[in-house]
């Protein structure tokens, strides 16, 4: 039996079905990330698991126990919110121990648990400070520490890094991943950032419009997307997806007879060459120099004066190309995906 099991979970907000029969099994010690665009239902699903929202259909079980109608305080779950939700007048130690003090836990046990959590999170020297004396990253660690001292069966993270700057996001992301390994805890993490999903998760669950589009290991979703939505959502920059009818030459290059559908190629499988040397002619529109990587956006000539098709290439070498330069494009023949008009996967070739 799965550790956390969701069966047919439905959530309605008036006439709107926010969750459409979610079925999900999460194993002990697994780090599962819910990812998707804004409004897809990922935070609503997390709040339903936490008991902060009631469900309108289905069943939620934790370790074989039905928790569907239990209040959040009885579910043995701990949630870390996007906003730190710390008590401003309390010290770090008091914030972390608040739930235990409410439960009348022995003071020596509280001190032991708070001390251990502070050690794990590098907060030992800040226990006597109040939240206003801490940085954003430290406040988020206090919020995580408050969850740790409760020793819950499942940790729930609701976009905990979205309020941090880029450097702190990267650092805190590593800390959360390390914490998960050290505690061996079951964790569910909600984010709209697919980089967080790809780097942290044992399993990624991609949601759209209240339904699960696909779930699996991060690289499985990257290499074998079930449909066009997942293909373009997972990966940065997103997969090039071209209407086969707009660029027939691409189908001929890749050896596919598809004429009514879409052809997908990852940016790393398109190489920029000298003008006249590639399989496709194109003109550079934008060059994004990222240091280790360079992204080159180029547009093919359009038929009958049309604007053509834009393709993006990712390369590790730096380039002297500038917008307006004429180039050639080479497409790796054994790395492409085919999608029907309905967006579903129609075929793929991978080396």
pLDDT per residue over 61-109, tens digit each? Answer: 999 999 999 999 889 898 888 787 889 999 999 999 998 998 888 999 9
Helices 107-120, 136-148: axis angle to 10 degrees equals 130
- Residue 188 DSSP class: E
* E strand segments, the chain: 4-13, 16-26, 31-35, 57-62, 65-66, 77-80, 154-158, 186-191, 203-208, 211-216, 240-243, 262-265, 270-273, 280-289, 294-299, 310-315, 326-331, 335-339, 345-350
Structural domain 4-228, CATH architecture: 3-Layer(aba) Sandwich (3.40)
Convert the pLDDT of each residue in 29-66 to its tens digit: 999 999 999 999 999 999 999 999 999 999 999 999 99
Element (H, E) at 120: helix 107-120
Convert the pLDDT of each residue in 215-263 to its tens digit: 999 999 999 999 999 999 999 899 999 999 899 889 888 888 788 899 9
Contact between 284 and 323 (Cβ < 8 Å): yes
pLDDT of residue 305: 59
> What rounded mean pLDDT belongs to the chain?
90
Convert the pLDDT of each residue in 170-225 to its tens digit: 877 888 888 888 888 899 999 988 888 998 999 999 999 999 999 999 999 999 99
What are the Cα distances from residue 248, in Å, to 24, 68, 301? 41, 53, 12
Q: Which sign, positive or negative, has the C-alpha torsion 318, 323, 328, 332?
A: positive
Locate the domains of the chain by residue range.
Answer: 4-228, 237-350
- Residue 255 DSSP class: T
- 237-350 belongs to which CATH class? mainly beta
* Beta carbons within 8 Å of 41's beta carbon, 6+ residues apart: 11, 18, 19, 207, 209, 210, 211
pTM: 0.88
Cα 247 from Cα 252, distance rounded (Å): 9
Contact between 20 and 209 (Cβ < 8 Å): yes
* Beta carbons within 8 Å of 139's beta carbon, 6+ residues apart: 84, 86, 131
Strand pairing partners for 302? none
């Amino acid at each position: 039996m799965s550790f956390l099991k969701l069966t047919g979970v439905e959530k309605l907000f008036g006439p709107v079905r926010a969750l459409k029969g979610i079925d999900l099994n999460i194993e002990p010690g697994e780090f599962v990330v819910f990812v998707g665009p804004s409004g897809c239902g990922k935070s609503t699903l997390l709040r339903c698991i936490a008991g902060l929202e009631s469900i309108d259909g289905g069943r939620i079980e934790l370790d074989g126990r039905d928790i569907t109608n239990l209040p959040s305080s009885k579910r043995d779950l701990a949630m870390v919110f996007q906003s730190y939700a710390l008590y401003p007048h309390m010290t770090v130690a008091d914030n972390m121990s608040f739930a235990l003090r409410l439960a009348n836990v022995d003071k020596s046990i509280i001190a032991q648990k708070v001390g251990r959590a502070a050690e794990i999170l590098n907060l030992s020297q800040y226990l006597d400070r109040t939240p206003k004396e801490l940085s954003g990253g430290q406040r988020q660690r206090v919020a995580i520490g408050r969850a740790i001292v409760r020793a819950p069966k499942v940790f729930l993270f609701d976009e905990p890094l979205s309020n941090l700057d880029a450097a702190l996001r990267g650092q805190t992301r590593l800390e959360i991943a390390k914490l998960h390994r050290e505690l061996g805890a079951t964790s569910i993490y909600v984010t709209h950032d697919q980089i967080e999903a790809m780097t942290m998760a044992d399993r990624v669950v991609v949601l759209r419009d209240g339904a699960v589009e696909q779930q699996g290991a991060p690289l499985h979703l990257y290499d074998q997307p079930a449909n066009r939505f997942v293909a373009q959502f997972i990966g940065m920059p997103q997969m090039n997806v071209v209407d086969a009818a707009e660029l027939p030459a691409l189908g001929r290059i890749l050896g596919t007879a598809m004429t009514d559908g879409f052809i997908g190629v990852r940016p790393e499988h398109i190489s920029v060459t000298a003008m006249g040397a590639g399989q496709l002619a194109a003109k550079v529109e934008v060059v994004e120099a990222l240091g280790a990587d360079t992204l080159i956006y180029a547009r093919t000539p359009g038929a009958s004066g049309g604007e053509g098709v834009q393709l993006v290439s990712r390369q590790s070498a730096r380039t002297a190309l500038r917008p307006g330069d004429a180039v050639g494009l080479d497409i790796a023949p054994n790395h492409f995906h085919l999608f029907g008009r309905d967006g579903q996967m129609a075929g793929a070739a991978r080396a």
